[in-house]
Chain A
Amino acid sequence: MNFGFTEEQELLRAEVRKFLDQNAPLERVREIVEAEGGPGTDPALWARMAELGWVGLNMPEAHGGVGLDLETLLVVLEETGRSLFPSPLISTVLAAKAIERFGSEEQQARWIPGLADGSKVGTFAFMERSDTLGAEGVETLAKPDGDELILSGEKRYVTDAAAADLSVVAVRSGSDAQSLSLVVVEKGTAGATAVDYDAMDLTKRIGSLTLEDARVGTDCVLGEQGAAWPAIQWLLDLGAALVTAEAVGAAEAALEITTEFAKERVQFDEQIGKFQGVKHPLADIYVDVESFRSLVYYAIWALDQDADDARVAVSRAKAYCADAFPQAGIMGVQLHGGVGYTWEYDIQLYLKRAKWVRPMFGDADHHYERVALLGDL
């Protein structure tokens, strides 16, 4: 039994940590994301990370990846989360995973190498105006036309929408509730337009992908047409797990920053960390972070193993995190007092990240309901 990481994984963690500390301290992160009209990431850093194998870490070796498991990727994500590193890592991994797991050998060879070497950004586009994670919420239509599909509809709340060179898009292939397909839409496809919105968390880009009679070949369909709902559910689970993995690092950093502040700030002639009104909420945050850490570690492992309880494990992790991380951010800002409300102090960056994490791939209500359902209630 070992509920922890191997020596190699710990070494990887140290490397990633060192790399991010050197190249992406929070001052640099702010520069990247505050740059007017900028790409929201640092292309040179992204390229370096890809070179080091971290982008393609769990993509197949045969197509330019490193071929490691999600568990190892988890180590990287915890660290990118801790640094609030702005990059399309999660969305690119999701796109690659969709193509690897559900696409043909030919499709993998066509798309994965570019994703693995960082030259292409990918994303997974599911949500629509219905704002639900159910199959019925997908209205974007795929109309067959010879060996092409004509796509029309609007995908919303898509992470890295504008940056994505290819989007794995969930579309409706029939009137049957679950008759959905996964289609790869490449940038530049006529009729496909992607824009980013203004968002609270500047370290995560989020936007929409509009499809107006956009044509893609049937060779862009991953798996069997009209039968992708199980695949989509798996991707939604994976997305929830990856987001939660990053949240572990981010929430832990928020706790650390606030704890340090509580040790330094003096009021009433004492370090404020001496007062239980300050130290007890910090202890509670610690309890929560450690708990959703355990839950998501297990969930990632269960996904790696295709275990029977993977779905409920993911829901438990995401549900706990979606409640606890925003709470940690709010408490963090509050315990900083007035300075916590300023643009200069870093704690607010983490609160905003928490607010991105909350709904992404399902909020606490969504996932607790699923825990109830899967638990025979």
Chain B
Amino acid sequence: MDFQLSEEEEAFRKEVVSFLDEHLPEGTERTPEFQAKWTKAIRERRWVGFSWPQEVGGGGGGIMEQVILKDEMAKRKAPALGSCFMGLAWVGPSIIQYGTEEQKQKYIPDILDGKYQWCTGYSEPDSGSDLASLKCKCERDGDEYVVNGQKIWTSIAMWSKMMILLVRTETEVESKHDGITCLLVEMDTPGIEVRPIKNMSGGAMFAEVFFDNVRVPVENRLGDEGQGWQVTISALASERSSIAEVHGLIRKIEEVKELARNTIRGGRAMSEDPGIRRRIAQAETKIEAMRLNGMRFLTKQLKGEPLGSETSINKLHRADLEIGLGELALEILGSSSTLMGGDDAVDGGAWAKYSLNWPEVVIGGGTPNIQRNIIAERILGLPKD
């Protein structure tokens, strides 16, 4: 085993650190002016789309450097690399892999610049975990596709200019994975209606999207007709980043510890309560296990071996932790944990809110039971159900 960085990697790390020293001095206020300057600076460095090919405006960087970059940024609590979340996570990689030259030129620079948001139109009311059963209808009419149907749970649909959409172009198919096509759709196309859905923490970040004879030019098809499932799978694979995103969890557990030290109940700090201590230590241990699992996955990638279903391990841990840390914080807080506002609400009810937001991570992108199926069937070789 060797956890040391090579000379080149160390040099890159230093480069990142000095960049951060220059552009993100301590105590920097995140004003809009700062944000604009920051965005420009990281774009000029080609750190947005760090691992994308240079021809399309990416950084052409390696996996290891990407990890170093993310690590150093997280240490400094730097703002995210780029602002087009889904564009960077999977739309961009899909276009790079399956898109035409024109599509690449048209969309990739905007994604890198964060000009506007993309949303993901996969799930339907009757097609969630069983995504391939989707029905949203799509018929060809000359140079256009005509889409009719409904999508649901579409995150940030109301703030997006573009959608990556899965539709069914063929119904008479042997396998439900066939006959699905992927389209890149402008959200202001006539016939699209977006209805926000209020979630249980009171916000509205996802929506239902209705399609009524929506006309999409054939040139906006990503990949071949009927190839939508492959496009989706490889897009999700490219999103399955090797290193689990533990930085957020590490920050969260530090906050929980702080909360335990500062919460006095029955005359003593909750950080002295044996039950609370154990649960914090357990959560911390699980986060460290995720970090190390991620490093084992990374080692595999660096050796050129493809990553398989093992990344589901960390998805399951993450699900547990996101729920667990919220519950732990509420337990530390005691009666005041129920409050969302008022003088007695700690941090203005921020923990209560946090404890309601886990579905984003736990349900979005595949539920824990689906992850368990993946491990059981693809790794342990148990029969499909």
Contact = CB atoms under 8 A, between A and B. Distances in A.
B105 interface: no
A234 interface: no
A188 interface: no
Interface stretch (B93-101, B122-130, B293-301): B293-301
A2, A263, A287, A301: residue with the most chain B Cβ atoms closer than 10 Å = A287
Interface string A259-301: 1001100000011011110111011101100111011011001
A102 interface: no
B189 interface: no
B278 A1 contact: no
Interface in B256-300: 257, 260-261, 271, 274, 277-278, 280-282, 284-286, 288-290, 292-293, 295-296, 298-300
A273 B292 contact: no
Given A1-B302, A372-B277, A282 B380 contact: yes
Contacts of B375: 283, 286-287
Contact of B310 (A262, A290, A377): A290
A371 interface: yes
Nearest to A71: B1
Given A279-B372, A279-B385, A369-B277, A287 B317 contact: yes
Contacts of B293: 290-291, 294
A259 B285 contact: no
Contacts of B280: 372, 375, 377
Contact of A320 (B2, B4, B289): B289
| Interface range on chain A (Cβ under 8 Å from partner) | 35 or more
A275 B310 contact: no
B374 to A, nearest CB: 8
Contacts of A3: 1, 3, 292, 295-296, 298-299
B11 interface: no
B299 A377 contact: no
Given A274-B384, A279-B382, A294 B376 contact: no
B142 interface: no
A287 B290 CA distance: 10
B381 A263 contact: yes
A73 to B, nearest CB: 13
B316 interface: yes
Contacts of B295: 1, 3, 294
A274 B382 contact: yes
Greatest chain A CB density within 10 A among B281, B372, B373, B383 is at B281
A377 B275 CA distance: 13
Nearest to B253: A375
Contacts of B4: 1
A287 B313 contact: yes
Given A282-B376, A371-B281, A372-B280, A273 B382 contact: yes
Nearest to B277: A372
B278 A4 contact: no
A276 B289 contact: no
Contact of A295 (B285, B313, B373, B376): B285
A17 interface: no
B307 interface: no
Contact of A371 (B284, B296, B379): B284
Contacts of A263: 381-383
Contacts of A274: 382-385
A376 B292 contact: no
A376 to B, nearest CB: 7
Contacts, number: 146
A5 interface: yes
A71 B9 CA distance: 24
A372 B300 CA distance: 32
Contact of A2 (B1, B9, B317, B376): B1
Contacts of A286: 313, 375, 379-380
B278 A368 contact: yes
Interface centre among A3, A273, A278, A295 (most CB of B within 10 A): A3
A275 B376 CA distance: 11
B373 A2 contact: no
A63 B317 CA distance: 45
A283 B1 contact: no
B344 to A, nearest CB: 25
B377 interface: yes
A282 B383 CA distance: 13
Contacts of A262: 382
A280 B376 contact: yes
A4 B299 contact: yes
Contacts of B376: 273, 279-280, 282-283
A166 to B, nearest CB: 32
Contacts of A365: 278
A9 B289 CA distance: 23
Nearest to A296: B292
Interface in B345-381: 369, 371-373, 375-377, 379-381
Given A1-B3, A259-B382, A279 B377 contact: yes
B64 interface: yes
A316 B381 contact: no
Contacts of B80: none
A5 B293 CA distance: 15
B233 interface: no
B41 interface: no
A5 to B, nearest CB: 7
A106 B206 CA distance: 73
A142 B118 CA distance: 74
Contact of A297 (B282, B292, B300): B292
Contact of B281 (A276, A290, A292, A319): A319
A55 to B, nearest CB: 23
Contacts of B373: 276, 279-280, 283
A290 B317 CA distance: 12
A105 to B, nearest CB: 30
Interface in B289-328: 289-290, 292-293, 295-296, 298-300, 302-303, 310, 313, 316-317
B282 to A, nearest CB: 6
B129 to A, nearest CB: 12
**A-B pairs, 7 with minimum CB distance:** A294-B292, A279-B376, A371-B281, A291-B289, A273-B382, A283-B372, A368-B281
18 contacts: A1-B5, A1-B299, A2-B299, A3-B295, A4-B300, A71-B1, A274-B382, A274-B385, A284-B372, A286-B379, A287-B317, A291-B313, A301-B1, A368-B281, A371-B284, A372-B281, A376-B257, A377-B281
Given A262-B382, A297-B1, A377-B261, 12 more contacts: A1-B5, A4-B300, A71-B1, A274-B385, A276-B373, A279-B382, A280-B369, A283-B372, A283-B376, A294-B292, A319-B282, A375-B284
